[in-house]
Amino acid sequence: MKDKDITDWWQNYLETNRQEEELKKQIRNDLESNVEFFKQYLIHCYAVQPLSEKHRGLINKLEHNFDGKANKALLQRFEKNQHNLIEINLMYRDIYENIKLRSWIW
């Protein structure tokens, strides 16, 4: 009777380990495909720096073509957009470094 219990235990143990390894492989494969997708996505859509340079040029042009409240409102809006671009840039770098780190670990 003990031999059968030991045999059943080993079969369960081996099956559990096999399923665990299979699940790990599946998760790793899913994450690797996501890492590649997001790397390509971020490379493709990352356009913060050229946009901020264009922003500066637009602000300079606005200062010369508008007067008073309109000029002030437009400049405030552009400054807010510039701030948002800086935040997006920081988020991009954090995400990129996180993806780079995760791809290095796998």
Domain boundaries, the chain: 1-104
| Element holding 70 (H helix, E strand) | helix 68-105
Token pair belonging to 27: 């998760």
pLDDT of 20 above 90? yes
Tell me how many degrees the CA angle 79-48-88 measures, rounded to the nearest 5: 75
pTM: 0.39
Sign of CA dihedral 77, 78, 81, 83: negative
pLDDT tens-digit readout, 26-45: 888 877 777 777 777 776 66
- pLDDT class for 51, splitting at 50, 70, 90? low
